[in-house]
């Protein structure tokens, strides 16, 4: 209980405006030692959660960006082949001693997963967009996340020095396996409500007044309700807010022209741009108090 | 169900905690009934959470349990209702689908559709092999018909003429088997094509240590082939009713056997049915589906259903090696232009669109329906699928993708 309030405060102090449930999720993560799986639309701030978590724990953030074809050698470890070849050349003729030498720590390149379990202070391990990796990698990850040990054939088994705080994010481009889902705590990150979004804008954009932030948040909410192909996320809102502040807009109603022209920060496809015509943007602006 | 009784924090079990753990076990059962994947470990964690003060406030406990027990967005959304209903005694709108599935056996919607075999119609059904270029040539040689041949006599009978239950069961069996054969053939083909294209430095060096590091025997690396993904959109409207049950069975087989397949059902709206279809037992799967297929017979809004698919599901289920298979007669009761637009959008996304139209084999059928006319330009293969044979003939086409 204490830890939960403590975490909520620490998150706020680090500049991440969390909803109340997220603080619970992070407290549970610590207590139950389970990874946290974050799902949600692109641009709702899933990755930011990991960054905030790292600053709450005042620890390092190690990030593994997943992509199709990601394999162990770029996720876990790799041997430094150039150096190995050099060493082999340099010690030509001592074939029996060379093998021990070139498969030692000195020639080992740490990749994110190995790095994460070898730190003295538990880092935050962010496994970003896990849905982009292949099934096989997911299965491998599952094993790593339950045992926290890695075996390197040439070196032997490496056990975790500390258990990292693991955060996984997914955009839902692929269905994840049930096993992985069950292993993790689940949190669905939704678009923030108006009030929270306004607070996020205020926290992130220098020079955004409370009233302007609220107006921007309301306007964005109105736009999200339109039938759009790509609904703007929090990142887009922040871009837009920065643009408006940069153009010295104090009140949206004073500059409907600028508002419409800067909507390009929010609308990322031609179709959406056509849909939010001048009339539509004025209508939405009209509803913003 | 004593999964929480063994939790480490429960060493001094008094009466109260026994009551609580009993209640918790019942809650876990409720969750499982509603399709949550909850295991022993989750039960223990839940018990330890309750013991450590999370049970003090219902809101807090709900939030904690929600994170622990949910595994996907649908779970996330229905959890609050379930929690409130169980612990706080509030009424929840309705129990979810999965809970009532076993009773659905006497549901008249889909299972009994088979009785609708109609007399009359054409004799010509038997000579309809897909009109596409690849079908005839691939029949010989490879001995891949072993499954279908068991039901040889059925192979050429139009599905809607199957009347006696035994025949229907046979056809279902054959459809499932067909799916199985398609799967093995497609995978084998994948393996045979593999050849390295890039050096695997790690293995090369390791292998050549004995040569003093001179790379003599090279180890190659191969690109991993993406397995073909099949996405089936099945029209469950009234006009298709004679065919739906066989196709459902086929889809069940496909989902079971393909590593990657997704199934959707549509009539006036679209339903994602992969979950229900993954039920091992075919009969139970069909039962569960009959619930989802409510509304069968009320016209077909293919365009709108496709729009829903494109908007909400396409990004997730379609990748570069995906085939979308639409099984429908193309009788669009909604907006045909919308159908055309959505088909164009879909065609941009996936590798091939196969449209199976059981009516195509009927004598004198021409694609007159407005819907099919709008859709035709975007379809890669337009084939009849009214007999097992015509279904089998599809497989070589898929294998070449």
Residues A166 and A147: their CA atoms lie apart, in Å, by 13
**Which residues of chain A does B73 touch, with a Cβ-Cβ cutoff of 8 Å?**
39, 172, 188
The reported pLDDT for the residue numbered B103 is 36
- What are the Cα distances from residue B276, in Å, to A204, B65, B287? 45, 25, 9
The residue of chain A nearest to residue B274, with distances taken between CA atoms, is: A175
For residue B341, give the DSSP letter: H
> Predicted ipTM?
0.78
Residues A43 and A129: their CA atoms lie apart, in Å, by 12
Q: Does A174 touch chain B (CB under 8 A)?
A: yes
Question: Sign of torsion, CA A107 A109 A113 A118?
Answer: positive
pLDDT digits (tens, 9 = 90+) for B169-224: 777 777 777 676 666 555 544 444 445 566 777 777 878 877 777 777 777 766 55
Element (H or E) spanning B63, and its range? helix B58-69
Residue that has been written with the tokens 């086409």 in this structure: B397
The reported pLDDT for the residue numbered A124 is 94
Determine contact, residues A134/B224, Cβ cutoff 8 Å: yes
The reported pLDDT for the residue numbered B161 is 67
Residues of B with CB under 8 A from a CB of A: 37-39, 42, 45, 48-49, 52-54, 56, 60, 63-64, 66-68, 70-73, 75-77, 201-202, 205-206, 209-210, 212-213, 224, 315-316, 319
The reported pLDDT for the residue numbered B132 is 38
- CA nearest B223: which of B190, B248, B247, B246? B190
Residues B177 and B145: their CA atoms lie apart, in Å, by 10
Q: What is the mean pLDDT of each run of 10 residues along chain B (401 residues)?
A: 46 68 88 83 87 82 89 84 83 42 37 36 36 38 41 60 69 71 56 55 78 76 68 82 77 72 82 75 70 60 86 81 84 82 87 84 72 84 79 73 61
The reported pLDDT for the residue numbered B372 is 81
**Which residues of chain A does B72 touch, with a Cβ-Cβ cutoff of 8 Å?**
39, 181, 186
Residues B208 and A186: their CA atoms lie apart, in Å, by 47
The reported pLDDT for the residue numbered B261 is 81
The reported pLDDT for the residue numbered B111 is 37
Question: Sign of torsion, CA B78 B79 B80 B83?
Answer: positive
Determine contact, residues A31/B49, Cβ cutoff 8 Å: yes
Question: How many other CB atoms are there within 10 angstroms of residue A114's CB atom?
Answer: 21
The reported pLDDT for the residue numbered B99 is 36
Q: What is the mean pLDDT of each run of 10 residues along chain A (289 residues)?
A: 76 82 88 90 86 90 89 86 84 74 86 91 93 85 86 86 92 79 89 90 88 92 85 91 91 87 88 86 84
For residue B333, give the DSSP letter: S
The residue of chain B nearest to residue A229, with distances taken between CA atoms, is: B311
Are A1 and B72 a contacting pair at CB < 8 A? no
Q: Which tokens in the block code for residue B278? A: 């993954």
**Which residues of chain A does B46 touch, with a Cβ-Cβ cutoff of 8 Å?**
none
Strand ranges for B302-397 from DSSP E: 322-327, 352-356, 381-383
- Residue among B49, B67, B202 minimizing CB distance to A25: B67
Residues B133 and B159: their CA atoms lie apart, in Å, by 24
- What are the Cα distances from residue B108, in Å, to B28, B102, B235, B291? 32, 14, 18, 10
**Which residues of chain B does A25 touch, with a Cβ-Cβ cutoff of 8 Å?**
67
Q: Which tokens in the block code for residue B349? A: 């996304």
For residue A208, give the DSSP letter: -
Residues B358 and A124: their CA atoms lie apart, in Å, by 56
- CA nearest B219: which of B241, B196, B239? B196
Residues A83 and B231: their CA atoms lie apart, in Å, by 48
Residues B82 and A196: their CA atoms lie apart, in Å, by 27
Are B67 and A173 a contacting pair at CB < 8 A? no
Residue that has been written with the tokens 């590798």 in this structure: B351
Inter-chain CB pairs, A–B, below 8 Å: 86
Residues B310 and A271: their CA atoms lie apart, in Å, by 15
Residues B205 and B212: their CA atoms lie apart, in Å, by 10
What share of residues in chain B are helix, strand, coil (percent, to 5)? 55, 10, 35
CB within 8 Å of A171: residues ≥ 6 apart: A39, A40, A41, A42, A129, A131
Are A99 and B53 a contacting pair at CB < 8 A? no
Backbone angles phi, psi at B75, to 5 degrees: -60, -50
**Runs of H (alpha helix) within chain A:** 2-13, 20-32, 46-56, 72-75, 81-90, 95-102, 112-117, 135-147, 178-183, 194-204, 210-225, 234-246, 256-261, 270-275, 278-287
For residue B39, give the DSSP letter: -
The reported pLDDT for the residue numbered B182 is 66
Q: Which tokens in the block code for residue B59? A: 């809101």
Put simply, the chain A residues between 103 and 142 with a CB less than 8 A from any chain B CB are 134
Residues B218 and A247: their CA atoms lie apart, in Å, by 61
3-state secondary structure (DSSP) of residue B87 = helix
Residues A31 and B135: their CA atoms lie apart, in Å, by 60
Q: Which tokens in the block code for residue B138? A: 């691939």
**Which residues of chain A does B42 touch, with a Cβ-Cβ cutoff of 8 Å?**
182
């Amino acid at each position: 209980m204490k830890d939960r309030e403590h975490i909520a405060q620490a998150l706020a102090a680090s500049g991440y405006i969390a909803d109340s449930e997220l603080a619970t999720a992070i407290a549970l993560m610590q207590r139950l030692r389970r990874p946290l799986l974050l799902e949600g639309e692109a641009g709702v701030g899933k990755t930011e959660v990991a960054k905030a978590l790292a600053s709450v724990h005042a620890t390092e953030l190690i990030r593994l960006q997943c992509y199709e074809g990601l394999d162990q050698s770029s996720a876990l470890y790799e041997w430094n082949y150039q150096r190995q070849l050099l060493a082999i050349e340099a010690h030509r003729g001592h074939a029996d001693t060379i093998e021990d030498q070139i498969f030692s720590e000195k020639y080992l390149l740490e990749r994110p997963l190995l790095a994460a379990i070898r730190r003295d202070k538990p880092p935050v391990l962010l496994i970003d967009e896990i849905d982009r990796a292949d099934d096989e990698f997911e299965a491998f990850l599952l094993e790593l996340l339950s045992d926290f040990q890695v075996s390197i054939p040439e070196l032997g088994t490496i056990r975790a020095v500390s258990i990292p705080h693991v955060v996984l994010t997914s955009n839902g481009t692929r269905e994840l396996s049930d096993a992985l889902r069950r292993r993790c705590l689940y949190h669905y990150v939704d678009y923030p409500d108006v009030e929270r979004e306004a607070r996020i804008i205020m926290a992130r954009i220098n020079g955004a007044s409370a009233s302007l932030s609220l107006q921007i948040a309301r306007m964005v909410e109105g736009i999200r309700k339109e039938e759009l192909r790509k609904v703007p996320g929090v990142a887009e809102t922040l871009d837009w807010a920065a643009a408006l502040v940069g153009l010295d807009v104090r009140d949206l109603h004073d500059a409907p022209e600028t508002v419409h022209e800067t909507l390009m920060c929010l609308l990322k496809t031609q179709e959406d741009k056509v849909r939010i015509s001048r009339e539509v943007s004025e209508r939405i602006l009209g509803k913003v108090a | 169900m004593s999964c929480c009784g063994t939790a480490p924090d429960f060493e001094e079990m008094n009466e109260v905690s026994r009551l609580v753990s009993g209640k918790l076990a019942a809650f876990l059962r409720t969750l499982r009934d509603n399709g949550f994947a909850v295991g022993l470990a989750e039960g223990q964690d839940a018990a330890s959470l309750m013991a450590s003060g999370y049970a003090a406030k219902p809101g807090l406990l709900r939030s904690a349990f929600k994170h622990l027990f949910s595994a996907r967005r649908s779970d996330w959304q229905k959890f609050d209702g379930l929690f409130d209903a169980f612990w706080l005694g509030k009424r929840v709108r309705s129990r979810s689908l999965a809970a009532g599935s076993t009773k659905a056996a006497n549901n008249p919607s889909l299972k009994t559709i088979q009785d609708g075999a109609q007399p009359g119609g054409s004799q010509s059904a038997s000579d309809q092999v897909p009109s596409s270029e690849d079908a005839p040539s691939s029949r010989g040689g490879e001995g891949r018909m072993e499954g279908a041949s068991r039901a040889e006599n059925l192979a050429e009978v139009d599905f809607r003429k199957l009347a006696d239950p035994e025949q229907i069961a046979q056809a279902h069996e054959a459809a499932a088997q067909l799916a199985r054969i398609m799967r093995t053939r497609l995978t084998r083909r994948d393996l045979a094509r593999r050849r390295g294209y890039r050096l695997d430095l790690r293995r090369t060096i390791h292998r050549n240590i004995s040569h003093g590091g001179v790379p003599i025997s090279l180890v190659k690396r191969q690109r991993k082939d993406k397995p073909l993904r099949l996405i089936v959109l099945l029209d469950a409207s009234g006009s298709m009713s004679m065919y739906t049950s066989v196709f459902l069975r086929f889809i069940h087989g496909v989902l079971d056997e393909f590593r990657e397949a997704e199934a959707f059902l549509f009539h006036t709206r679209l339903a994602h049915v992969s979950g229900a279809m993954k039920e091992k037992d075919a009969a139970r799967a069909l039962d569960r589906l009959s619930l989802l297929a409510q509304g069968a017979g009320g016209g077909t809004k293919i365009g709108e259903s496709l729009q829903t698919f494109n908007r909400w599901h396409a990004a997730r289920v379609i990748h570069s090696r995906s085939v979308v298979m639409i099984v429908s007669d193309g009788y669009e009761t909604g907006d045909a232009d919308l159908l055309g637009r959505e088909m164009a959008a879909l065609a941009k996304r996936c590798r091939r669109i196969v449209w199976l139209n059981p009516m195509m084999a009927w004598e004198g059928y021409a694609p007159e329906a407005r819907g099919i006319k709008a859709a035709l330009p975007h379809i890669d293969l337009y084939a009849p699928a009214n007999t097992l044979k015509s279904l089998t003939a599809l497989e070589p086409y898929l294998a070449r993708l």
